[in-house]
Every structure is written in structure tokens, then in C-alpha cells.
Chain A
Amino acid sequence: MSAAGHRDRCAISGIGATRFSSNSGRSTLSLAVEASLAAIADAGLRPSDVDGVVRCDMDAVAHNDLAQALGLPDLSYWGSSGPGGAAPGGMIGQAVGAVLSGQATTVVAFRSLNGRSGARFGRSGAVGGGGGGGAGRRPRPAGGRGTYDEFFFPYGLVAPGQLFSLLARRHMIEFGTTEEQLGHIALACRARANANPAAQMADRPLTMEDYLSARMISSPLRLFDYCLETDGACAVVVTSAERAADGPQPPALIRAVAQSAGPEPQFGFLFPTLLRDSLTTQTSKAVADALYRRAGLGPGDVDVAQFYDCFTITVLLQLEDYGFCAKGEGGPFAAGGAIDKGGSLPINTSGGHLSEGYIHGLNHIVEGVRQIRGTSTSQVPGAEVCLVTSGLPVTTSALVLRRAS
């Protein structure tokens, strides 16, 4: 099979999302069920039509959990991808593989989390060291068991934002990138969220003055360089392009998917990636090369992009790695208006993780489908090709969605 063996042969035929909030008061299973039911109905299907489920490896909801809760009569394919935010592109890839290989006909890919009210990054429950403090009692050591976190956690390097701050500082050292340039990414996402009633920051405008005067979290990254911790779920339905064409919605053809661990794969979940030769070229460079090759398209063909934006710097690195500007020029590119509505590459048109909500990259796919359908609250006129990326830096994945001609 050629590199383009899956090109345009499957489609996303349904999308669904719950409300995004800071305290859902509901189980992650309930959130997953609500988003999945919405996606299935949007595709013009019933739960009994679904025979495959793909999840993120960090999701508390397992494939069989969702199958029972939805009442699926014949779950016969399941998969998971990761780690964490790197999953969504790979999840779609698994769904495509299952459909094209005959292992499934209709696959639900979902992500559900209580990311604000439930477990949060960097706390002792996630890192270790909790429960200590008694005289002579040794707290649970950090790392080991193949995690390599013993080289990082004991120094207070415990949260993803601290790692991305190290990447941002390095980008500033190598290329003179400024905090204000990062701010333009936060402002662009916020402006799109202000047009999206479903975004958590729908009613909260952001100015450069607000951005620069916000408290520092982990220098050089400030409050609004960080995404929102969110409770909520998203789901999509993947099926063959033929079946999708019979559905009620215009299909979003899956032009190409790609995953990559890059030429220098690294251990662990996050922090060992600080040992890569370059901190300013990420796995997204390798995934971009594979994705464009499989899609038969290049950055110049992309009308709109949904960049994984756990932090502003994550977007800046990807603007360069996906070839929208040269390495080192992400700052001036972002500050020059290219990423805004009406620019050459509008990004994160629902507000992204920074201002819509953090559903670990699944909401980026949902918004990518809206752009292809023409139903985004910040619709790019005539958008035919949408790039959707997933998280860094351990591994990453991405997909290209295309409007059927």
C-alpha cells in the first residue's frame, strides 16, 4: 500500500461535545456518553451502528465502559493512543485503520476528563512525595520503574508548564523570541473564543496589557500562556467515505493522518524530552513531513489550522515545524497577524485549549470538522483544507481534513 493508501477513504461524519466547565459535577463516563451520543446522532446513526471505540490512554473511561453505557451490542474493535494529548491524531489513525482493514465499520473516538475538578497536573498525587512527613517515615520516592522521572521530579520539575517554559526560554535564547510575540497567540485564541458561545472564555476579552500584566506562572510563561483546565468531553464518528456520504452532514474527509516519535525518540511521559538535541525543533517537524507527503499537500494548501495549544509556545513551535514560517520566525509570524481571522493562516477558530477548553486535542478535531462543514463561529470563508494537530513533545500526531468536492 502506498503512503497515500488511506487518502480520503474515510471521513468524520459526526461530532459531539458536552458543555465545557470548571466543575461538571458529573462522572467522566457520563460526559463521554453525552458527547458520544451527540456525535452518533449528528452522524444520523444509532448506538447500535457503532462497532468500534478508540480512546486516549489517559482517559479514565475504558472502551468497554463506554460500550456498556451506550448499550453497544457488538463492540468488536477498540484501541487507544497516547501519551495524553499526543493521542487524537493517532486515535483517528486507528479508527481509519480499523475501517479500511474491515475490523470495524463505525468507530467512536472520544476524550472525557474532569481536568479541573478532578486530577490535576503536578500535584503530589501525580508526582509522588505525598503522605510523608511523619518522623523517620520515608515519603514515596519519585520516579523509577522506567519513568526516568527520578532525574526531574526531585528538582521541582513536576508540571508540563515548567517543561514548556524551558522550551520557551530556549527559543528566546536561540532566536530572540519575545514574550509579547507569545502574547499574540494568546490574544488570537481569545478573540476566536469571544465569538464562540460554547467557549469557557466566551465573555472574557483579553488585551495585550492584560496578557503582559498577568501573573507569572513559570517564567517566561504567564497565566494566559497556559491553557484552561477543563471538565468536559468530545467525540467524533469515523466511518468510510461512502457511508459518510449517506449521512445528514457534509463529510469531513480524512485526507491524511500521521504519527511520529521523531528521529530521536525519548523515554518517559514528558521530561526526558529535554535531552533531545534541539528543544526548538519538535516531533511535529517529523509528523508534518509524513503528513504532507501522505496528503499530497503542503503548508500552502492549508486554509485553516487547529494547533494543539497546551501553551502559547506549543503553537509557536508548530507554526515553524509545520512549515508556515522558517525556524525561528514563529514569533514575528504570530505577531504579524497571519494567525488571526482574515490572516493567511487563521488558527484555533473555536478558541483552542487556551480559551475554549482543554479536551486534550479532541475539541480541535471537532472544530476542524466544523470548518470543513462551514459551521464554525469563526468560519474561514471557503475553507477546504484544515490541519489539526495533537500534543507535544514526547510523540505527536496530526491529521488533514478536506471538504468533499
Chain B
Amino acid sequence: MSAPPADRPPRLVPETSDPDTGGFFAAAAREELAVCACAACGAVLHPPRAYCAACGRWDTVWRTVSGRGRLYSWTTVEHQTHRAFPVPYTIVLVELDDAPGARLVGHLPGRPELEAGMPMRIWFEPVDDHGTLLPQWRPESTKAPVDGG
């Protein structure tokens, strides 16, 4: 994997060392999609947290999920706000097939043709030269970009 070309604005990389959410990005660095879940009652705890309010336990695990989902909503951004994100680009909001209640967002370049409920697949995008991989979504009918798009 390589850093983005020098002529592109620097990527906005996620904080990966937060005590509650770092496990998500540690899994992503292994090219796995994982959600935080309660080890006792099985409740999905996304966004990740250490305490399960459903059963009152402090015992969580990172559960690897399939990386399949359905498109819940999207927006194509045409007005530039942050320099790291040249327009147009599209933000997708995806519901995970095997983790009800968890939704994740993704970034697609341009103005792709999208449809509510369409199947989506995960892929992992390198966003820096420190091994950080960002889980990204693409329509199942399209190929994963090979070089971080």
C-alpha cells in the first residue's frame, strides 16, 4: 500500500487509538469489518462503547461481520467545504445485513447511480502511510478500486 500522491490534499484520517472505538480500526487494519457487541447478551453496541446498558455488563467483544449491507440513504455533495474532499462525491449510509441497528457511512467519488436498498459490499482503503485502512462501501455490482481511488 502507498500514501496518496503528493498533489492530492492530505486525507482526513480517523483517530484510531480511542479506547472505545480503536478496536474497529484495528480490525479494519486486518481487512476485517468488526462491530462491538456485548459478550453477555449479544447486543450490538455501535457506536462502540464499553458498557452494555441492555444488561448492565462491562464485557464487550469485537464481532467480525460479513461486510454486506443495504443502501439506506445517500447524498451527493456538490459544494466544497473541506479541502480533503474534492466535489462531487457521494456519501452513502449503509445498514449492515448481520448487525441490525448498526449503520456505517462510506465515500464514493462522483455521482454514482444509486438506489435505495441496493446491496453494498465493504472494501478497505489505505488512507495514510502508517497502515490505516478505512472501511469503505461500494455497490455490490461494481468492482473495488485497487489503489485507494
Is A48 in contact with chain B by the CB < 8 A criterion? no
The answer to whether A156 and B79 touch across the interface, beta carbons within 8 angstroms, is no
The answer to whether A156 and B21 touch across the interface, beta carbons within 8 angstroms, is no
* Most chain B beta carbons < 10 A, residue from A121, A145, A167, A173: A173
Main secondary structure of the interface of A (DSSP, over half): loop
Given contacts A275-B46, A275-B103, contact A219 B78 (CB under 8 A): yes
Chain A nearest CB from B139 CB (Å) reads 16
List, in ascending order, chain A residues with CB within 8 A of B72's CB. 170
The answer to whether A138 and B105 touch across the interface, beta carbons within 8 angstroms, is no
The complex places the Cα of A274 from the Cα of B25 at a distance, in Å, of 20
The answer to whether B10 and A162 touch across the interface, beta carbons within 8 angstroms, is no
The complex places the Cα of A277 from the Cα of B79 at a distance, in Å, of 29
- Candidates A142, A170, A275; contact of B47 at CB < 8 Å: A275
B100 closest partner in A (C-beta): A277
Chain B nearest CB from A389 CB (Å) reads 23
The answer to whether A218 and B107 touch across the interface, beta carbons within 8 angstroms, is no
Given contacts A141-B13, A166-B74, A217-B79, contact A152 B105 (CB under 8 A): yes
The answer to whether A145 and B18 touch across the interface, beta carbons within 8 angstroms, is yes
Band of interface residues on A:
35 or more
The complex places the Cα of A88 from the Cα of B39 at a distance, in Å, of 41
Chain B nearest CB from A73 CB (Å) reads 45
The answer to whether A166 and B13 touch across the interface, beta carbons within 8 angstroms, is no
List, in ascending order, chain B residues with CB within 8 A of A124's CB. 82-84
Given contacts A145-B18, A166-B73, A169-B75, contact A157 B105 (CB under 8 A): yes
List, in ascending order, chain B residues with CB within 8 A of A216's CB. 76, 78-79
The complex places the Cα of A215 from the Cα of B88 at a distance, in Å, of 13
Is A337 in contact with chain B by the CB < 8 A criterion? no
Chain B nearest CB from A118 CB (Å) reads 16
* Most chain A beta carbons < 10 A, residue from B15, B25, B75, B136: B75
Is A143 in contact with chain B by the CB < 8 A criterion? yes
A267 closest partner in B (C-beta): B47
Given contacts A156-B84, A218-B75, contact A166 B91 (CB under 8 A): yes
B81 closest partner in A (C-beta): A122
The complex places the Cα of A380 from the Cα of B18 at a distance, in Å, of 53
The answer to whether B81 and A154 touch across the interface, beta carbons within 8 angstroms, is no
Is A144 in contact with chain B by the CB < 8 A criterion? yes
The complex places the Cα of A122 from the Cα of B77 at a distance, in Å, of 12
* Most chain A beta carbons < 10 A, residue from B13, B16, B21, B129: B13
- Candidates B16, B76, B134; contact of A218 at CB < 8 Å: B76
A272 closest partner in B (C-beta): B47
Is B9 in contact with chain A by the CB < 8 A criterion? yes
The answer to whether B73 and A157 touch across the interface, beta carbons within 8 angstroms, is no
Chain B nearest CB from A156 CB (Å) reads 4
List, in ascending order, chain A residues with CB within 8 A of B25's CB. 150
Is B51 in contact with chain A by the CB < 8 A criterion? no
List, in ascending order, chain B residues with CB within 8 A of A272's CB. 47
The complex places the Cα of A166 from the Cα of B144 at a distance, in Å, of 24
The complex places the Cα of A282 from the Cα of B16 at a distance, in Å, of 30
Is A175 in contact with chain B by the CB < 8 A criterion? no
Given contacts A156-B84, A274-B93, A275-B102, contact A141 B15 (CB under 8 A): yes
The answer to whether A162 and B91 touch across the interface, beta carbons within 8 angstroms, is yes
The answer to whether B104 and A151 touch across the interface, beta carbons within 8 angstroms, is yes
Is B148 in contact with chain A by the CB < 8 A criterion? no
Interface 9-mer from A29-37, A125-133, A338-346? A125-133
List, in ascending order, chain A residues with CB within 8 A of B14's CB. 141-144, 150-151, 153-154
Is B17 in contact with chain A by the CB < 8 A criterion? yes
The answer to whether B89 and A156 touch across the interface, beta carbons within 8 angstroms, is yes
List, in ascending order, chain A residues with CB within 8 A of B83's CB. 124, 129
The complex places the Cα of A152 from the Cα of B46 at a distance, in Å, of 13
The complex places the Cα of A124 from the Cα of B12 at a distance, in Å, of 9
List, in ascending order, chain A residues with CB within 8 A of B12's CB. 127-129, 139, 142, 153-154, 156, 158
Those of B37-90 within 8 Å (CB) of chain A: 46-47, 72-79, 81-85, 89
Is A165 in contact with chain B by the CB < 8 A criterion? yes
The answer to whether A279 and B73 touch across the interface, beta carbons within 8 angstroms, is yes
Chain B nearest CB from A254 CB (Å) reads 34
Chain B nearest CB from A199 CB (Å) reads 23
List, in ascending order, chain A residues with CB within 8 A of B143's CB. none
Given contacts A133-B10, A275-B47, contact A156 B91 (CB under 8 A): yes
The answer to whether B15 and A143 touch across the interface, beta carbons within 8 angstroms, is yes
Given contacts A148-B21, A217-B79, contact A275 B91 (CB under 8 A): no
The complex places the Cα of A146 from the Cα of B85 at a distance, in Å, of 24
- B→A interface (CB under 8 Å): 6, 9-18, 20-21, 24-25, 46-47, 72-79, 81-85, 89, 91, 93, 101-107, 116, 127-130, 134, 136
Known: A122-B81, A154-B127, A277-B101. 7 other contacts (CB 8 A): A129-B13, A154-B13, A158-B12, A158-B81, A170-B72, A216-B76, A221-B75
The 5 A-B residue pairs whose C-beta atoms are closest, nearest first, are A144-B15, A122-B81, A165-B75, A156-B85, A150-B14
Q: List 12 A-B contacts (CB under 8 A).
A: A139-B11, A143-B18, A145-B15, A148-B21, A156-B85, A158-B81, A170-B73, A173-B116, A216-B78, A218-B78, A219-B76, A275-B103
